[in-house]
Chains A and B, each alone.
Chain A
Amino acid sequence: MRDLAARLTALDPDAGAALRVITYFDRLTSARAGLPAIVRGAAVLAGCPAHFSDPARRIHLHVTPDGTSHPTPAPGLTSAPQLTPGPQLTPASGLTFARPDKSEISDLSTQEAGAPPSANTAGAGLSVQVGAGPSVQVGDGATLSLERSGPPGPVDAMILERAAVAAQAALDRTRRRTAPTDAELITITVDAATPEPERLQAASRLGFRSPSRVRAIALPTTNPAIHAAPDPAIRAEPTPGIRAELGADTGPPTRAGVGPAGRIADLPASFAAARTALRFTAEGTEQDPGPRIVHAEHLGGLALLADATHPGTEPIPDVRAVDRVAATAPWALATLTAVADSPSLRAAATTLRLHHSTLQERLTHLLPTLGWDPHDPHGRLRLQLALALRRLHRSTLAPAPPLARSTPTADPTLAGPAPAGNAPARDAPAGNAAR
């Protein structure tokens, strides 16, 4: 305190005013005043609006010198002031604030709200540039700024510095546990064990409000996602949109199970279906052919198989047969998959980028090992089922996801909805089902 006072004497021609600033915030801190009182203090002492923004904690305070608090829009909805801060002040780095013009220096108590006359040039009107004033970082990520349209006040720097220290103390005391991250909020929205009002509130904080229609998306390695269903009339076909959303621009799209669209309150059911759909996905590679994204609404009766099949259950002989085929050649599994998924052999050949006769040769090679002919409808259905069952066996996701309200952590990669089944499918032991 004495050191600071000495520094003030050296820097500030109006040390009396600065000392009063120090006294004010020290007193607030020692009395354990809350954040609003501190921001209000900054506004009152500076004689201009003060703005505090902490996006991580979702705190936004805007206070005018008369003590009135104004709600500020959430970031992203408008040009949020915290995105355009003025010159930065870091308390640790000392006072690097531009010196005010000496003529502007006045006694603290005589400072008036509003812009000095010189600030309003002709035509400028009374518009106040939001975020145009000086600002200071509070901890990591929060900003306190004074919204001045004119030249800085004589003790602006001191006000910001002391208010920042006080604000940090208040935050440490009252908000040590940070507000839930988006990932945590999403986890809440899809958690059947969470009461509906709490789920709706979490969705609302994410920007989803009734009567929006939404679908849950299950992902193999991260927290769930939720996705606005743009039009209830469109049934489960927004794959391109989801593909883009799931990171097609940063490499191959992730595997995803897409739940049915519905009410926000029904997100847990959508997520359960999405998790089932995820178990039918594959890497889409030659070694693990199949769809990377599966919509629960397209599964039909296949969904019933998912309940009965998981890595621990005994594979039926047809699945073992597919495994044996897969072991015969690198291309074998992709060939069977194309045949099963295509309306004709010719279409399957196109999918595989093979000549029709080459595909015929391959099948001639593979079918004795398979043990049945997939050319006729029954054989094709049998192959489709065998391939689907094989994926279910290989999927490490639990069949009936008991989405525990597992203590969500801030790191989305650590906070899987069902930790036991959260290993990425691509890392599953290749021989899991072929033992």
Chain B
Amino acid sequence: MTIAPGPPPPFDPELAAALDVLDLNLPSPLTAKVLPAIREGVAAANPSDEDLSRGGAYTVVRRMVPGPAGDPDVELLILTPVNAAGPLPGIYHTHGGGMIIGTSSSGVELFQEWLDEIPSVIISVEYRLAPEHPDPAPVEDCYAGLVWTAEHADELGIDPDRLIIAGGSAGGGLAAGVSLLARDRGGPQLAGQMLICPMLDDRNDTPSTLQMDGLGVWDRSANHAGWTALLGDARGGTDVSPYAAPARATDLSGLPPAFIDVGSAETFRDEDVTYATRIWQSGGIAELHVWPGGFHGFDMLAPQAAVSREARTARLHWLRRLLGA
């Protein structure tokens, strides 16, 4: 890209106000030193099992399943609607957190909110985190959990034809990577991939990345820290696996229908738009939403804002069309 990017696009007014009030900027630089404290904070903010049960609407089960060959077992968080007649759609969830933070219960409320519209079994994978467990541990853990889930669809009450993968941020990148793995290994047939502001490109040099340097929720330096934790010195080099950084994939054909959304004022804007474009160019199916003035994860941090509500509605509507629900 030879054209110098312009100034950063302005945040949506409501999102900007919320951002100021929330004062969520991660400490910069994001170093291994501050990581434990951040992880602790994220874990404390996670929903408890009682929260996850939603007053008894879901059963909450944690189950160890086989991990990648030669690696430890992987824990799956299994949320099953109590009052819905199966088999149900399955949402296999890969949580976000820059590859370095978060747990399996981070962000699942997004899908639990659809209990009335599309009751689904939600499986969220507790993958190993970087930098303690660099690539390919996270994506292979996620894939192993998906394979087990697909093989045990009956037992889980999941309709195997309506199993999708979904994740936000790093979880979106992992969902995209797992979709590529499933295609290339002849693994589970996914009905769709919901990539919410996905983290796809370790090169960290798109115009949006440069524009948002030092701004918003997950800026260029935080992104650099996340990718470096995952890939080490290989980050940005010539030898990065497309399953770790799906923007590196040369072939985006034969993938399940994709839903991709992203804010216009975030680091990941350009890599996400490019990913959707390349899926179309490969003859695939993708739905792309770029929400103006959205910062990274805007709809989770300011869910009441008008643009956040629209973004959430768009996801639900896509899923409804995809599943014919």
State A24–B22 Cα separation when bound (angstroms).
10
Shortest Cβ distance from A166 into chain B, in angstroms?
Answer: 10
Residues of A bordering B, CB below 8 Å: 20, 23-25, 27-28, 31-33, 36-37, 40-41, 43-45, 65-68, 108-109
Report yes or no: B14 in contact with A40, Cβ–Cβ below 8 A: yes
If the complex has contacts A20-B21, A24-B20, are A32 and B306 also in contact, measured as CB distance less than 8 A?
no
**In the complex, number of A-B residue pairs with CB atoms less than 8 Å apart:** 53
Question: CB-CB < 8 A to B13: which residues of A?
Answer: 27-28, 31-33, 37
Report yes or no: A67 in contact with B17, Cβ–Cβ below 8 A: no
Question: CB-CB < 8 A to A67: which residues of B?
Answer: 303-306, 308-309
User: Which of the residues A33, A66, A68 comes within 8 Å of B17, measured between beta carbons?
Assistant: A33
Report yes or no: B304 in contact with A66, Cβ–Cβ below 8 A: yes
Within 8 A of A (CB), among B1-41: 10-11, 13-14, 16-18, 20-22
User: Which of the residues B10, B11, B18, B303 comes within 8 Å of A66, measured between beta carbons?
Assistant: B303
Report yes or no: B21 in contact with A24, Cβ–Cβ below 8 A: yes
Mask: chain B, 250-266; 1 = CB below 8 Å from A; 0 = not: 00000000000000000
If the complex has contacts A66-B304, A67-B308, A67-B309, are A41 and B14 also in contact, measured as CB distance less than 8 A?
yes
The interface residues of chain A, by DSSP majority, are classed as helix
Report yes or no: A23 in contact with B304, Cβ–Cβ below 8 A: no
Report yes or no: A24 in contact with B17, Cβ–Cβ below 8 A: yes
Instruction: Give the size of the chain B interface in residues (CB under 8 angstroms).
Output: 16
Shortest Cβ distance from B115 into chain A, in angstroms?
Answer: 16
Report yes or no: A33 in contact with B14, Cβ–Cβ below 8 A: yes
Shortest Cβ distance from A20 into chain B, in angstroms?
Answer: 5
Report yes or no: B304 in contact with A28, Cβ–Cβ below 8 A: no
State A24–B305 Cα separation when bound (angstroms).
13
Report yes or no: B14 in contact with A37, Cβ–Cβ below 8 A: yes
State A192–B228 Cα separation when bound (angstroms).
73
Shortest Cβ distance from B48 into chain A, in angstroms?
Answer: 16
State A183–B21 Cα separation when bound (angstroms).
45
Shortest Cβ distance from B133 into chain A, in angstroms?
Answer: 32
Question: CB-CB < 8 A to B18: which residues of A?
Answer: 24
State A324–B306 Cα separation when bound (angstroms).
76
Report yes or no: B304 in contact with A27, Cβ–Cβ below 8 A: no
Shortest Cβ distance from B37 into chain A, in angstroms?
Answer: 19
Question: CB-CB < 8 A to A36: which residues of B?
Answer: 306
State A65–B303 Cα separation when bound (angstroms).
10
Shortest Cβ distance from B217 into chain A, in angstroms?
Answer: 16
Please give me the residue from chain B that is nearest to A44 by CB atom. B304
State A45–B18 Cα separation when bound (angstroms).
10
Please give me the residue from chain B that is nearest to A21 by CB atom. B21
State A40–B308 Cα separation when bound (angstroms).
13
State A66–B306 Cα separation when bound (angstroms).
10
Mask: chain B, 290-304; 1 = CB below 8 Å from A; 0 = not: 000000000000011
State A40–B20 Cα separation when bound (angstroms).
16
Report yes or no: B305 in contact with A40, Cβ–Cβ below 8 A: yes
Known: A27-B17, A31-B17, A33-B13. 12 other contacts (CB 8 A): A20-B21, A24-B20, A25-B17, A31-B13, A32-B13, A36-B306, A40-B306, A41-B14, A65-B304, A66-B303, A67-B308, A109-B22
